[in-house]
Structure 1
């Protein structure tokens, strides 16, 4: 072997005590206190240790061995994890915004609900400081970023860079991948069920055998992608889903319905929007659309703030990524509807008074409410049996007599007191 040949990297093994001391100094640095120092774990072995809940923003983990580490709710924003081995690590609800994960291994890691906004997961070469050459490559070959079998369910990967990543059989279900770069990524047999890939670049990506059911692919670049044997049932693309807005005067119909409601039927007329694609409306902010029928309609991404839709028939409707802040949905029928990622803060979703002794509850039975924000919403008597409430936010919401029988509650906030 020549003198210039790369040698195997030696790792410095740290104990939990060592780790705690370094983290304490990093905390002092962030708090602008004396004795602070940036946490540097370059080529250290932290395998099996706990960093849960720590603030390690801007820390350096270059080439670190972190197999099986407990990183739940750890703050790793802008951290350097270049070439780090995170196999089997638990990063549930961790924050990795703009983190450098190039060449890292996430094989079998749990990143459920992690925030990886603008994170960089491209391939990279491992290098070490060298007095003569500055940085000297230790490994002769480019290291691909590996996320084989990783669980990224519900993770925020918006605008992240994953070009060339190997993530076969990884779980991206309900993940946010808006404007992500996935050029030539190996995503064979990966699960993207319910993921939002709006504006993502999937050029040359290998998605053979992947699950793309109910994904959002609006504005996605798909040139030369491989989707052989890929299940795309229910995927939302740029093509009209249902009756195109160009085929019917939807804007006039919406206005007529609102006028009919406001005048008590004296002017305008009621309209039916079942299975209509209403995306091109862009906004119905503040409209009075009480008792509207829009079963199976697509509202994706619409601005619906303050809209009045009391008693509306919205069974199976697609309301993902909609702005429904302060919307009045009392008594609305949303059975089987898709509301993933929607903003429902301060929305009224309690019972609708029909007569003195009869009320109509808001029915969200079997609805997909993953990552939806219900903060401070009125959900009294709402029916959410069998609904998917994964990572939804119910902080400050009124939840008296809510039915969540059989609902999926993984990572949901504000449901601790709801049986």
Structure 2
């Protein structure tokens, strides 16, 4: 067990913290430095934004109102940390240990927390009489293990495979979150909102929320959708034949309104120039290396889709959902047309971040 929490580490200045983080980044890069030791440290209101903090130990730390915006915190330990009102937008928290952490008022929208552990946790300390005391004992330390983190914003987060067992998440906002394979056994989710969330491979009985909290959710592929696999595959094959023969054989594919998820990996490296895929469900589909010039993806749900190294010149994504989609190395330049005109990629009204698009190939 740990020493009495009343003996908290003194708060560093911003300058001192920046120096500690720099040494941690050098340690991670194997260029000297030392691993940061910030467990049980008061870091309230300090700036840890846009830094590489992989595997950092912040267990029991107080980060009330701190900014961790866009930092890489993969495999970090936030065990029983106080993250109330913290800014965790766009952070990477893959496989982070966040058991027992308090998130009341924190913002985590657009963060990636895949495989993070957010179950209930309680930190035990040795009191002045050497007897064990829980984190939620009276005193200057807030009751992290029992704090009600209502109002925490998980909207649009990627939280695939996250463990929420026994977590207290009353009033949490999961709107638009990617929650594939997440577990919620015995979680307290009163007034939680899952509107538009992706809840595939999730036991909905564990959520125990009213139907209005699940409006617009994307659930597991239905047997009826799976049964359309052959039909959708044939459409793609005819489209490819139409392209190869210059239109003398086959016909252009129209996928408008379809759930394309049964096609899974059949889209990798495929010729699909001019594909019509308006309003499709294409969550996490893999279009890597495909030819999708002038494709029409208006209002499609393509969250988490992989467009790495795809040719997207002139494609239209008007109103599409693209959060957490991958565009690394994708060609998003304008497409030359006959007559010397150019067709630009259209992202009007699309849900996508600058950080995602910055990874596309330079135009």
Report the CA distance shift for 1:268/1:173 in structure 2 as closer, same or farther (over 3 A): same
2:324 matches 1:341: yes
In 2, Cα distance between the equivalents of 1:54 and 1:309? 35
2:112 matches 1:124: no
Q: Which of 394, 406, 415 lines up with 2:358 in the alignment?
A: 394
The higher relative CO (CA closer than 8 Å, separation ≥ 6) is in: 2
Deviation at 1:231, TM superposition (A): 3.6
> Gaps spanning 5+ residues in structure 1: where?
1-6, 149-165, 370-388, 400-419
Superposed CA deviations along residues 6-64 of structure 1, whole A, max 9, x for unmatched, are x9852446253599289649938946869x6862554x544445556677666655544
What's 1:139 paired with?
Answer: 134
In 2, Cα distance between the equivalents of 1:229 and 1:198? 19
What's 2:199 paired with?
Answer: 217
What's 1:323 paired with?
Answer: 306
> Gaps spanning 5+ residues in structure 2: where?
138-142
Superposed CA deviations along residues 180-209 of structure 1, whole A, max 9, x for unmatched, are 112344434322222101111234445454
Secondary structure of 1:275 counterpart = coil
Deviation at 1:236, TM superposition (A): 1.3
What's 2:345 paired with?
Answer: 362
Q: Which of 292, 310, 322 lines up with 2:275 in the alignment?
A: 292
Report the CA distance shift for 1:182/1:347 in structure 2 as closer, same or farther (over 3 A): same
Report the CA distance shift for 1:317/1:208 in structure 2 as closer, same or farther (over 3 A): same
In 1, Cα distance between the equivalents of 2:203 and 2:14? 47
Aligned length: 351
The answer on whether the counterparts of 1:22 and 1:39 sit within 8 Å (CA) in structure 2 is: no
What's 2:37 paired with?
Answer: 39
Matches within 5 A, 1:104-123: 104-111=101-108, 114=111, 116-123=113-120
Superposed CA deviations along residues 294-323 of structure 1, whole A, max 9, x for unmatched, are 221222222212222222222212222222
The answer on whether the counterparts of 2:317 and 2:347 sit within 8 Å (CA) in structure 1 is: yes
What's 1:408 paired with?
Answer: none
Deviation at 1:269, TM superposition (A): 2.5
Larger radius of gyration: 1
Q: Which of 227, 234, 238 lines up with 1:246 in the alignment?
A: 227
CA RMSD of aligned residues (A): 3.9
Report the CA distance shift for 1:144/1:32 in structure 2 as closer, same or farther (over 3 A): same
Q: Which of 162, 165, 181 lines up with 1:183 in the alignment?
A: 165
Secondary structure of 1:183 counterpart = coil
Matches within 5 A, 1:15-414: 15-16=11-12, 20=16, 24=20, 27=23, 30=27, 39=37, 41-42=39-40, 44-49=41-46, 61-71=58-68, 79-92=76-89, 96=93, 98-111=95-108, 114=111, 116-129=113-126, 136-139=131-134, 145=145, 166-228=148-210, 230-240=212-222, 244-247=225-228, 249-282=231-264, 283-369=266-352, 389=353, 391-395=355-359, 397-398=361-362
What's 2:140 paired with?
Answer: none
Deviation at 1:260, TM superposition (A): 1.2
Give the number of the structure whose residues are more often helix, by fraction: 2
Report the CA distance shift for 1:11/1:47 in structure 2 as closer, same or farther (over 3 A): farther
In 1, Cα distance between the equivalents of 2:169 and 2:225? 32
In 2, Cα distance between the equivalents of 1:364 and 1:21? 39
Deviation at 1:355, TM superposition (A): 2.0
Deviation at 1:263, TM superposition (A): 0.5
In 1, Cα distance between the equivalents of 2:54 and 2:274? 49
Query: What is the TM-score with the length of structure 1 in the denominator?
Result: 0.69
